[in-house]
Structure 1
Amino acid sequence: MVNWTQMHDCYGDVDRVPALLEQVELEDDAEAWKELGYRLVLEHDLVFPAGFAALPRLMCLASRSARARGLAGTILRRAAGHHGCDDLLANCAEEISEFRRLLDRHLQSRPADYLAAFLASLAAMEEYHRSAVLGDFTDDFYHLVCPNCAVEVTIAIGDYGCYSAIRDWNKGDVDRRDLRPTPSEALSGTGRWMYETAVRDGHEALADGIALLFGKAECPACASVFDVANEYTSANRPVLR
């Protein structure tokens, strides 16, 4: 049972969020959903305790409400970092597991919000660093550090090309080197799940981008070859609580 007297929202209120939850549970009120969203989540990835307290009820609503599914996913994707609500997340582990299964069924329907649901699925797997910054690989850039010489390397994956480069703010990306994708059969763990899910659901561009993200890149400065996913994880690792 949540003690709402300790669960403040972005305004410091402790009674408005439970009232709004009761309202949206009774009817799909667009204005109530709008107010609920901005009371729970601010820009810059900040979620308030009331947001984590609301998660179990939002995830229970997710099977019949796209708004609930979207808001629950948004909150879950911000579950890394200093929020002081680890106990609330631990207490809804069962609901998170069911939410992940629901998201998987939703992905198979090839919905318009496919990427958002895909990222929420990663968050439900506690892959927060991927769910926070992964794009759809149409216009994606990742700024990593070469593990050998420590120079900043730009990784581009998109319609314009798939390469590593040194970024010059006057000339653009210079000294480009083609990325080397990992063969699908060599993928494992989360990378394999990501790739196979995208292929299953007919998202070939996303699958191809994942193979490149889990592939190899050559540093234009020192010519050393490094694993993109490892450096991506290092650069985007969640803040330890």
Structure 2
Amino acid sequence: MTLLDEAAADPRSPAWDVVWNDTCDQGYANAGSERLLPWLARVCAGFTPADRERPLVLAGFVALDAPDRPGFADEITALRLLTRENLEAGASDARMYVYLQQALLGLDGDETWGRSLDLLSDGEADVACPHCDGEHLISLDPADSPVVPALTVPLAARLHREALAAGFSEVAASVPLLFGRVDCPSCGAVFDVAGALTR
């Protein structure tokens, strides 16, 4: 039995750890990993929603870095539908909820949030002030964040609304901070946190 056969046969198999390690490095898919998309689509379709959470997260990274996304359009569409289904059914916890939203954005080809939305789970964002280039670690914890929250971007409003509907109020509270504005601790200029991340 091959490694992929072992993973496909059991969502809790240690083979999944090997598949992840061979496929992704620090949130970036290795060259050639897009060949896994048809396999991931088949496997995820056969798993229960709870069992396919982690494979869907992997699929988001793979799809985001696929050099020929149109060539895998059917698989990406199928994986996107499964990810949306999982989000509507309810993620296993708040962290996985964020990862699934990130996977959805990766499947959509969003270069920034398909890789960085998990900052919501990290509780902080490392950003450079666009005015003075000073590097700062900004807290996204509602209890102690210096950020003035905002939901003016359509994506932010959607993420906030869906997190509340899903019952993840802690995620919903962090979304406006990720898309809010903050005073630079170095130069005092006000800048947009999300904008600094997308520079």
TM interval, short-chain normalised: 0.7 to 0.9
Alignment partners' CA distance in 2, 1:230 and 1:108: 29
Match of 2:192 in 1: 227
Match of 2:29 in 1: 47
| Code of the aligned partner of 2:186 | A
Find out whether 1:133 has 2:101 as its counterpart: no
> Deviation at 1:61?
2.4
Alignment partners' CA distance in 2, 1:104 and 1:29: 19
Per-residue CA deviation, residues 130-168 of structure 1 (Å, 9 max, x unaligned), is 2323336465221212122222232111165112xxxxx
Query: Aligned pair in 2 of structure 1 residues 24, 152: CA closer, same or farther (>3 Å)?
Result: closer
Alignment partners' CA distance in 2, 1:32 and 1:138: 25
Match of 1:101 in 2: 81
| Code of the aligned partner of 1:153 | H
1:74-113 matched pairs, under 5 angstroms: 74-79=58-63, 85-87=66-68, 89-112=69-92, 113=96
Q: Of Structure 1 and Structure 2, which has the larger fraction of its residues in helix? A: 2
Aligned length: 194
Match of 1:71 in 2: 55
Alignment partners' CA distance in 2, 1:49 and 1:222: 41
| Code of the aligned partner of 1:62 | C
Q: Is the 8 A contact 1:73 1:120 kept in 2?
A: yes
Query: Aligned pair in 2 of structure 1 residues 215, 47: CA closer, same or farther (>3 Å)?
Result: closer
Per-residue CA deviation, residues 62-87 of structure 1 (Å, 9 max, x unaligned), is 13325555234314325556xxx512
Q: Is the 8 A contact 2:34 2:62 kept in 1?
A: no
> Deviation at 1:220?
2.4
Alignment partners' CA distance in 2, 1:209 and 1:95: 32
Structure 1 length-normalised TM: 0.67
| Code of the aligned partner of 1:197 | E
Alignment partners' CA distance in 2, 1:212 and 1:30: 35
> Deviation at 1:106?
0.7
Match of 2:178 in 1: 213
Q: Is the 8 A contact 2:29 2:61 kept in 1?
A: no
**Bigger shift: residues 62-71 or 202-211:** 62-71
| Code of the aligned partner of 1:187 | V
Unaligned runs of 5+ in 1: 1-15, 164-178, 235-241
Unaligned runs of 5+ in 2: none
Q: Of Structure 1 and Structure 2, which has the larger fraction of its residues in strand? A: 1
2:140 is paired with a residue whose SS is: strand
Match of 1:196 in 2: 161
Per-residue CA deviation, residues 161-220 of structure 1 (Å, 9 max, x unaligned), is 112xxxxxxxxxxxxxxx1111x4x332x3233222212212222122111111111112
2:112 is paired with a residue whose SS is: helix
> Deviation at 1:49?
4.7
Structure 2 length-normalised TM: 0.79
> Deviation at 1:21?
4.3
Asked which structure has the greater CA Rg, the reply is 1
| Code of the aligned partner of 1:86 | P
Percent of aligned positions that are identical = 22
Alignment partners' CA distance in 1, 2:12 and 2:118: 28
